[in-house]
Structure 1
Amino acid sequence: MSTTTSLLIRKEELSSTRLHTATDQPLAEGQVRVRIDSFALTANNITYAAFGDAMNYWQFFPTGEEGWGCIPVWGFASVVQSLHPGVAVGERLYGYWPMASGAVLSPERLSPERFGDGAAHRAALPAVYNQYFRCQADPLYTADTEDVQALLRPLFITSWLIDDFMADNDFFGARTLLLSSASSKTAYGTAFQLHQREGIEVIGLTSPGNVAFCESLGCYHRVLTYDAIDAQIAADTPCVYVDFAGDGPLRAAIHARFADHLRYSCSIGGTHLEQLAAKGAGKSLAGPRATLFFAPAQIKKRTAEWGADAFGRRMTAAWQNFIAAVTDARQPWLRVAHHHGAEAAAAAYAQVLAGRGDPRIGHILSLRERPGGL
């Protein structure tokens, strides 16, 4: 009998992990089993864990063990067993997986490009996370860029939607946007989009050690350290704050400095986990109420307005432009570090959770050992 290994996270103590191996159960009619070959691990996944209960992220891949969860990740898998007539063994899929060596799906609403997972426990969850893209017909897929797709595709979609949401609301009457955690992938993807809009100033906020990296990207008009905000940006500047850091004191300081000149404030995720998880971090702030940006809501709005095909075409064109910049051989924005095997994956998770490392490094994990054991 085959087995599946999963990396489980203690929900109330995200630094506590353990590996769990279980014997695979026989498939039911209409199900498929996949081998999860590789997936990305970024600060975005830590956000999933931090908001696991509030945003239902733990519900996608329930562990059946009280207090323990499995963090969703984005990556690639191959079908190794199929009892569904529309999905063949060997088919390559991109989508939302557990941090595991394998998974079982119940494909429904099949098209040449994608299908949904019809598992009962996922029925009430956002549809955007339940879609699996069939690589042979996926316009965003190229076999030689799987690592970059896993690392940046879900983040860039969020970035693209943030830019679209801001433009859709005329930037709330402001023309200066402040992006915290400017070295993070979702932040610089957002900056890449915003930088293309005339009359908009994009200011990246980051720590001293990441200033040079952020400046090298060319998508920020200015890059400032957090302690330089007061000296470099006038307090009466109409601005929007896009919070990728989840740092409560920083958010409070920005609200206090700009007050009513801060036209909008939203939180995307968090790289400062202890602040992100702090209860009441968004209360009692000067200026506008800080809100959580929820990408599926903008997807739903634009799909209704533009139609699914037009939505896909626009996003694909933006993605291709972004990837061309990221993978430019003269100055690539990203270098990939691979981690093979369950123990290596657990160690990589601890590193990403701690928020340490070179912003140019993207982590690709597999709970399977490297082929050949090397």
Structure 2
Amino acid sequence: MSTTSLLVRKDQLATTRLHTATDEALADGQVRVRIDSFALTSNNITYAAFGDAMSYWQFYPTGEEGWGSIPVWGFASVVQSLHPGVAVGERLYGYWPMASSAVLSPGRLSPERFTDMAEHRAALPAVYNQYFRCASDPLYTAGTEDTQSLLRPLFITSWLIDDFMADNDFFGAKTMLLSSASSKTAYGTAFQLHQRHQGEGIEVIGLTSPANVGFCESLGCYDRVLTYDALSALDADTPCVYIDFAGNGALRNAIHERFTSLKYSSSIGGTHVEQLAAKGAGKDLAGPRATLFFAPAQIKKRTAEWGAEEFGRRMVAAWHAFIATVSDAKNPWLHATHHHGGDAVTAAYAQVLAGKGDPRTGHVLSLYKQPASA
């Protein structure tokens, strides 16, 4: 057996190549999974853009200097097992390489999940090392795997952003400015913030490109949608929080310079990849310092405060409410497009990296070789 991977140049994300290697024999306690499908979104591009700074490249090291494997979220099936607690055929949801298969070292098993105990992952954030067993996973629903792959990791971040803001009393502001408003993590956050309107009077304003205004308005979770060049429509002294999903340094600077009552500036990721390293992005900003939001830190805090069971209960309830809205047959927010095989996966990656395409389209990819009859 062999594994095919899409490798990316760490310092030049548009440079990729397919790599196929013969699988090594499993060690005792390991399992091999076939990665059936995984989502590719701007979130994964953020993983690559911050790969060194936030250790994303370390989850699935390639062994080749300068080349990395971008982590992705999706579903896999156990095809070989030398672990007595994990059976061949078991279906898993989790954090994979962009590859056709992967090897895990399961530990800390429960009916719902286990942890990959591979030595090189021991110091990495625990949230990324957990694999969910679909048969007992409270977030899993059969028939919606594509939607789960596309939205589940992003929505958990969205839910945590909303919780972080509420945990800090929205830093004294009532207006939330969300850039890249058509992105999945942004509209997931807007969906959560929108629930607070009656109780806390939070106004959610989406910032986007002209082409995506209609899409953002159709979602119903933004009070207003503005194009990036229309910041003047808001009073300069509006007490506000900026939640930056775009990573566009020029936009960040413009917002910091315009809003004299900017209470907090939260950097989430980078959908505007070409601007991530923009000169002056984050340097000498007017107002508050742009602070990177790190979801695992909020998970750790809330788990300690609420307990793991209550944390899970709240998250599951929020997730099911979100999925019900997104999957509404009358107005679905998302349609999955499938890409199978090395060439198709490479092309889809280039498209997502370039930030092109319809925001209603979600990309679901697969690199494993299907049987000839499939």
Same fold? TM cut 0.5: yes
Structure 2 gap segments, 5+ residues each? none
Moved over 3 A (4+): 369-374
Contact 1:114–1:131 (CA under 8 A) maintained in structure 2: yes
Structure 1 position 194 matched with structure 2 position 196? no
* Aligned-residue offset at 1:274: 1.8
Give the letter for the 1:228 counterpart: A
Cα distance in 2 for residues equivalent to 1:356 and 1:181 = 13
Corresponding residue SS for 2:144: helix
Cα distance in 2 for residues equivalent to 1:360 and 1:369 = 28
The percentage of counterpart residues that share the same residue type is 81
- How do 1:85-96 and structure 2 match up within 5 A? 85-96=84-95
Cα distance in 2 for residues equivalent to 1:330 and 1:211 = 20
* Aligned-residue offset at 1:120: 0.3
2:207 is aligned, of 201, 205, 208, to 205
Residues 157-194 of structure 1: CA distance to partner in whole angstroms, max 9, x if unpaired? Answer: 00000000000000000000000000000000000000
* Aligned-residue offset at 1:368: 2.2
Structure 1 position 317 matched with structure 2 position 322? no
Match of 1:307 in 2: 307
Corresponding residue SS for 2:37: strand
* Aligned-residue offset at 1:370: 5.1
Match of 1:253 in 2: 254
* Aligned-residue offset at 1:362: 0.1
Cα distance in 2 for residues equivalent to 1:32 and 1:278 = 43
- How do 1:192-271 and structure 2 match up within 5 A? 192-198=191-197, 199-230=201-232, 232-259=233-260, 261-271=261-271
Match of 2:124 in 1: 125
Give the letter for the 2:363 counterpart: H
Contact 2:249–2:280 (CA under 8 A) maintained in structure 1: no
Contact 1:267–1:292 (CA under 8 A) maintained in structure 2: yes
Give the letter for the 2:9 counterpart: R
Corresponding residue SS for 1:9: strand
* Aligned-residue offset at 1:45: 0.2
Cα distance in 2 for residues equivalent to 1:190 and 1:297 = 17
Residues 201-221 of structure 1: CA distance to partner in whole angstroms, max 9, x if unpaired? Answer: 000000000000000000000
Corresponding residue SS for 1:136: coil
Match of 1:292 in 2: 292
* Aligned-residue offset at 1:369: 4.2
Structure 1 gap segments, 5+ residues each? none
> Size of the alignment, in residue pairs?
371
Corresponding residue SS for 1:235: coil
* Aligned-residue offset at 1:278: 3.3
Cα distance in 2 for residues equivalent to 1:258 and 1:124 = 40
Match of 1:336 in 2: 336
Q: TM-score w.r.t. structure 2 length?
A: 0.98
Corresponding residue SS for 1:216: helix
Match of 1:272 in 2: 272
Contact 2:250–2:278 (CA under 8 A) maintained in structure 1: no
Contact 2:249–2:279 (CA under 8 A) maintained in structure 1: no
- How do 1:1-374 and structure 2 match up within 5 A? 2-198=1-197, 199-230=201-232, 232-259=233-260, 261-278=261-278, 280-369=280-369, 372=372
Give the letter for the 1:258 counterpart: F
Cα distance in 2 for residues equivalent to 1:191 and 1:337 = 24
* Aligned-residue offset at 1:99: 0.2
